[in-house]
Amino acid sequence: MDPSFDMLCDVVPGRESWRVKVRVIRVWEVLNFLNHDQTNSIEMVLIDEKGGKIHATIRKQLLYLFKLKIMEGQTYKLSYLAVAPSSGSYRTTLHPYKFFFQMKTKVRICESDAIPKLGLSFSNISDVLSHTVDYDYLVDVMGIMTGISVEREYIKDGRVTKIITMFKKFPFL
C-alpha cells in the first residue's frame, strides 16, 4: 500500500486535495434525454486496492478535458477531486460520497496489480430478496437471459421512451 495515496474509505467533504490510486471498473455516458447526440456527463465507478468503491462524475462542461483520458479497466492516479454527498436513486456504490472532476483535477495513468480488476461484491440471495422497492442501490445479479421482447414505445406527457423486456432465469432460485 502506497502511503502517499488516500484510501477511498477515508474520503469525506471539506478537502479537495485527495490523491487516490484507483481502477475504473465501470464507465458510461449519460446522454441528453431529448438529444441523444449530446452527452450530459460521464459516470464511473472507481475501486482502490482495499476494494473500496466510489462513484465519480465528469460534468458536461469538463468533458473536453477528460473524455479521452478515462478508459474502463485502466488504473489511474487522480488528484484534486471535489467531494459531495452521494444521493438519489440508483446509486452505484455504498459510499456516502462521490467524486466530481474539476478543472484542476489531474489524471495520470499508472500500473497496479494490487487493485482488483472487477470489483465484484457478492451478496447472499436472502439479503437481495430482503430489499424493499425503495432500495436506492444498484445490485449486480447473475442469471441466464432466456429471451427478449420486441421493442415497444411508451408515451407519457408527450415523451416517447423505447422499452424492451428481457426474460431471465436464476439458477439459484
Q: What is the pLDDT of residues 120-158, one digit of tens each?
A: 877 777 887 888 877 777 776 677 778 888 888 888 888
pLDDT class of 170 with cuts at 50, 70, 90: low
Identify the residue with better confidence: 74 or 35. Answer: 74
For residue 100, which amino acid is it? F
* Cell representation of residue 111: 500500473
Pick the CATH number of 8-110 from 2.140.10.30, 3.30.70.20, 3.40.50.300, 2.40.50.140: 2.40.50.140
Pinpoint the residues of the chain covered by CATH 2.40.50.140: 8-110
Q: Would you say residue 108 has pLDDT above 80?
A: yes
How wide is the angle at C-alpha 7 spanned by C-alphas 28 and 55, nearest 5°? 20
Residue 114 CA to its chain's centroid (Å): 20
Query: What are the residues whose beta carbons fall under 8 Å from the beta carbon of 132, sequence distance 6 or more?
Result: none
> What does pTM read for this prediction?
0.79
Distance CA 154, CA 151 (A): 10
- E-assigned strands of the chain? 19-31, 39-47, 53-59, 75-79, 82-85, 97-100, 106-110, 144-148, 152-156, 159-163, 166-169
